[in-house]
Structure 1
């Protein structure tokens, strides 16, 4: 995503840009706003529309809002090469709520921070793969707190807001924007319950675990065949010995796994070792020559080394499972 823009439709003068982020981007033309308004007028049943202009390298998604008798547009600008179908199909309700919240803050001193958070959350989410997005539910303090609260059972949006504010001190967050990622990953279900309005159900919980890697022998394809078989046999014996005694609860209780995978260089090393073996020097290059970290990964059985050849010993996987309160 390249930018996010809030436009007010003035009945006398036409479209007026109220704020955009990043602010240094060149403003969209009035002609573009008129085209957006026209498409909305012709498709009144659709709150969200898209526009690709022939003379632009940008494609636009617009969500129309009516707030206190006035008409506003929340406009998201993407590169023409980006696939925005998932935005149209998966985000309509959430982006409507995000837009409503931003427009409600337009005359306050909170709008600058709020639109910056909205921009970065939507942009970064689309850049990450599924595994990285799931990892963020443990890395991001607010998301992790919400996940813990949802594990206790069904909760209304208002009660969730109150708990986050009074018990955890999160008073200025854009809850709709945060919950968008939960819905996108099919972790929660939003339902309207009489007397409580919007309620959220945790339908898939998240956890993480060590698993023996796949296709390790294939990852040794560049190694001399005699040395390959010797290293592989040593590796297999070590693997069987470790996993036959492995207790996953210990890793979860002391955050051993998370402490390593939160490190971007370690995460990159794991991803690389999934497909091929590396030399010690190649590993150190990925870890910015941090020998202490390399030895910690060996000691904690995340990687394996023999004859200068390094293999992935533990593949860390994030898994979804039915929440306890459902079981």
Structure 2
């Protein structure tokens, strides 16, 4: 994404750009905004349009909104070569909320920070590797807090916003932008139900843990028989010893995993070691010659070293899984009067329906 723009439609003079980020970008012409307006007029049933100007090397997503009787556009500008079909399909409900939040902040001192945050989040999300996107649910304090709140069951956006402000001190956040990532990763869905507008339901939980390699024997395939037996016996001994005492629910271990994988070189190394053994030098090269990080992986038994070779000992994986536990929590909250009967039944139905859909596939290993 190249830029994000908020445009106001003046009934007398036409389109007026209010703010653009990054601000140093060359401004789009008024004529181009008029064409965006015309495109909206031709597609009145759609609030979001995708427009490729003939004379420009750009693509535009524009979301039209009415706020207090005034018309605004949230304009996202991409290079013409970018494939943005997934953006249009994935975010039909989220972008209008982001636009409204930005429009509400136009005459405040928060607008510059808010539009910068919106731009960087939308732009960077599609660039990150899958593991990096999932890691953000654990290393980002706000996202991790929201995930913990959602584990108690259905909550409306307003209640979530209030809880984040009063109980956790998160007051100046773009909640719609944050929830976008939860929806994109299929962790939550949003529904409007009687008595509850913008209710969010956890449909998949997420954890990060250490697992044995899926195909450990293939790591020894290229060694001669005698060396293979010796290495395999040493490897098995270490592996069994580690997992006999491993508790995946320990908070300290989760913190250790997160602190290690924050380094962007760790996951590429883990992925490479899933496929084959590597030399010590090759591993160090992949870690940008960070010997401290290498030793930390070794000491904490993420990797195993023997005869100058490095083997993957404990893989780092994300697991998405159906949150069965939430049924008891919903029941408890309903009995305490914290959620309505509609909220209670809708979330139960969602979990039950997903259980039927998934049948024996109640988790996804990533």
Same fold (TM over 0.5): yes
Shift of 1:36: 1.0
Q: Taking structure 1 as the reference length, what is the TM-score of the superposition?
A: 0.92
| Higher mean displacement: 248-257 or 72-81 | 248-257
Shift of 1:183: 1.1
> For 1:274-324, what per-residue CA distance to the aligned partner results, in whole angstroms no more than 9, with x for missing partners?
333322122223333332322221121101111111122111111112222
Distance 1:70 1:308, change over 3 A: same
Instruction: Give the match for residue 326 of structure 1.
Output: 327
SS in 2 for 1:60: strand
Matches within 5 A, 1:299-310: 299-310=299-310
> For 1:42-76, what per-residue CA distance to the aligned partner results, in whole angstroms no more than 9, with x for missing partners?
00000001011233332111100111222111111
- 2:126 is aligned with 1:131: no
| Higher mean displacement: 285-294 or 115-124 | 285-294
CA distance in 2, matches of 1:111, 1:236: 57
| Higher mean displacement: 211-220 or 73-82 | 211-220
Distance 1:189 1:252, change over 3 A: farther
Matches within 5 A, 1:134-145: 134-145=134-145
- 2:148 is aligned with 1:148: yes
Contact 1:64/1:73 (8 A) holds in 2: yes
Matches within 5 A, 1:139-178: 139-178=139-178
CA distance in 2, matches of 1:56, 1:277: 50
Contact 2:138/2:144 (8 A) holds in 1: yes
Contact 2:208/2:254 (8 A) holds in 1: no
Distance 1:228 1:130, change over 3 A: farther
Matches within 5 A, 1:179-258: 179-216=179-216, 218=218, 225=224, 229=228, 230-250=230-250, 255-258=255-258
Instruction: Give the match for residue 44 of structure 1.
Output: 44
Distance 1:129 1:236, change over 3 A: same
CA distance in 1, matches of 2:92, 2:252: 36
Contact 1:102/1:115 (8 A) holds in 2: yes
Contact 1:220/1:228 (8 A) holds in 2: no
Q: Taking structure 2 as the reference length, what is the TM-score of the superposition?
A: 0.82
> For 1:195-247, what per-residue CA distance to the aligned partner results, in whole angstroms no more than 9, with x for missing partners?
332221111111112122234555567x6646873544533443344335433
Contact 1:62/1:73 (8 A) holds in 2: yes
> For 1:131-169, what per-residue CA distance to the aligned partner results, in whole angstroms no more than 9, with x for missing partners?
221111001110001111111222121111111111111
SS in 2 for 1:72: strand
Contact 1:251/1:257 (8 A) holds in 2: no
Contact 1:51/1:61 (8 A) holds in 2: yes
CA distance in 2, matches of 1:228, 1:17: 70
CA RMSD in angstroms comes to 2.2
Shift of 1:253: 5.7
> For 1:16-39, what per-residue CA distance to the aligned partner results, in whole angstroms no more than 9, with x for missing partners?
111111111111122221221111
CA distance in 2, matches of 1:57, 1:220: 52
